[in-house]
């Protein structure tokens, strides 16, 4: 595929990298995407799932009403950038630390390709999703009628993957990324003097320590060892560090659950609920436990995965398929779209000697060398999907 517009795409990527926006606040990013589409004369609808956009291009070849979707995310993360690149974030405390600026750019590259190359039958939808970073943008678009307004026979997405070198791809059928839940725990005890009357208190700090220790045994003793799972209590807040002799009334904690199947998730949820009730009974406290479903399992449908693998083999070569690619316990809310429509998610290599930082790291910067690979991959899976569907039809 000729990439005569690569400089233009890189410039666009650097621009939105400099001006990152958090989930559901991607107003300027959305405006810039719409301006790009306007310049091409491509039709689109905006305001889907708040700041989401769907564009579409119909092929010039008659004889098919088949459709396929391609999706990218647009939001940034609440981090202070330390990458040192000349186009670093100008928005304090906000940066593109996950490469969504690159994903958006590659999808625009696919739009521009098909705008100039319409020799296909069917319709391609280009889904620019807001708020992927744990805020529910994928679900918001689905709930806002994404697949009712824009019926798709399949949908595909990709994520840059620094653990793979540029030019490599990772894709497998079945679970690719884990479900993700947020755990919030508030322990209501009875405060007092840590020296004078600790026996008259219900110490929430002590209870929090017990909760953490017991919770971290759930994986080792209640979950099937052949079922990948993670339970992490990641933050605790209680009292005032200067109040060294003051037992507080409350303690708050937060954490996450990750699993690759619903049965394992249920085991962990049930165990946490039992743990909370048992500690309430033992200590005489009250525990508020809230478990919020943030992500579904990102599940690759087998036929769609076979299509993606076929495109990678024929376009880039067998050697570009990462051997023994494994699921990750990271979450992805493209899962909500895959739960509503068959499709596949693909990891796109983005690592090299100049790009060694991982995702969600303040020193991370998307690797522009991955852009041509991503554009060609997206174009290829779209055409393969339409062609496969036409043959079935």
Could you say which of 21, 26, 73, 75 is catalytic? 75
Q: If you ran DSSP here, which 8-state letter would residue 164 be given?
A: E
Q: Is 288 annotated as catalytic?
A: no
Token couple for 281: 């009974």
* Cα-based torsion angle of the residue sequence 284, 285, 286, 291 in order, rounded to the nearest 10 degrees: -110
Least Cα distance to 259 among 289, 228, 283 occurs for 228
The b-or-e profile of 301-313 (16+ CB within 10 A means b, else e) is beebbbbbbebbe
Q: Other CB atoms closer than 10 Å to residue 35's CB: what's the count?
A: 11
Do residues 111 and 40 touch, judged by C-beta distance below 8 A? yes
Helix orientation angle between 371-392 and 302-316, rounded to the nearest 10 degrees: 130
Q: Which tokens belong to 103?
A: 């994903």
Alpha helix positions (H), the chain? 6-18, 27-40, 100-116, 137-143, 146-149, 204-215, 218-222, 262-283, 302-316, 335-340, 371-392
From 21, 73, 132, 376, the catalytic residue: 132
The DSSP secondary-structure symbol of 295 reads: E
The number of residues in the chain equals 393
Q: Give the containing element (helix H, strand E) for 45.
A: strand 43-48
Q: What phi-psi label fits residue 145: left (phi over 0), alpha (psi between -120 and 50 degrees) or beta? A: left
Active site residue 314: no
Please tell me the distance from the alpha carbon of residue 146 to that of residue 152, in angstroms, as a whole number: 9
| Catalytic annotation, residues | 75, 132
């Amino acid at each position: 595929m000729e990439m005569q517009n690569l400089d233009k795409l890189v410039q666009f990527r650097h621009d939105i990298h400099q001006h990152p926006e958090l989930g559901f606040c991607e107003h300027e990013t959305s405006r810039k995407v719409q301006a790009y589409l306007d310049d091409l004369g491509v039709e689109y609808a905006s305001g889907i799932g708040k700041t989401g956009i769907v564009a579409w291009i119909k092929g010039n070849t008659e004889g098919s009403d088949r459709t396929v979707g391609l999706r990218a995310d647009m939001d940034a993360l609440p981090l202070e950038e330390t990458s040192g690149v000349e186009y670093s974030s100008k928005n304090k405390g906000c940066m593109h630390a996950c490469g969504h600026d690159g994903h958006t750019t590659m999808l625009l590259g696919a739009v521009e390709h098909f705008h100039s190359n319409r020799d296909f039958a069917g319709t391609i939808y280009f889904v620019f999703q807001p708020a992927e970073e744990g805020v529910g943008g994928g679900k918001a678009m689905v709930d806002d009628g994404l697949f009712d307004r824009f019926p798709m026979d399949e949908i595909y997405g990709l994520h840059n993957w620094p653990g793979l070198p540029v030019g490599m791809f990772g894709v497998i059928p079945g679970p690719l990324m884990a479900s993700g839940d947020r755990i919030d725990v508030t322990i209501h005890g009875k405060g007092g003097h840590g020296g004078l009357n600790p026996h008259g208190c219900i110490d929430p700090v002590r209870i929090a320590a017990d909760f953490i220790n017991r919770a971290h045994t759930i994986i080792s003793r209640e979950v099937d060892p052949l079922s990948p799972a993670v339970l992490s209590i990641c933050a605790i807040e209680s009292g005032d560090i200067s109040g060294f002799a003051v037992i507080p009334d409350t303690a708050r904690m937060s954490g996450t659950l990750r699993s690759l199947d619903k049965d394992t998730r249920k085991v962990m949820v049930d165990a946490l609920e039992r743990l909370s009730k048992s500690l309430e009974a033992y200590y005489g406290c009250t525990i508020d436990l809230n478990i919020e479903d943030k992500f579904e399992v990102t599940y690759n449908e087998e036929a769609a995965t076979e299509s993606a693998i076929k495109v990678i083999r024929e376009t880039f070569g067998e050697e570009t398929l990462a051997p023994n690619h494994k699921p990750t316990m990271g979450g992805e809310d493209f899962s909500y779209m895959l739960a509503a429509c068959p499709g596949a998610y693909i990891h796109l290599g983005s690592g090299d000697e100049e790009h060694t930082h991982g995702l969600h790291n303040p020193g991370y910067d998307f690797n522009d060398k991955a852009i041509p690979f991503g554009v060609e991959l997206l174009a290829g899976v779209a055409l393969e999907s339409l062609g496969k569907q036409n043959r079935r039809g």
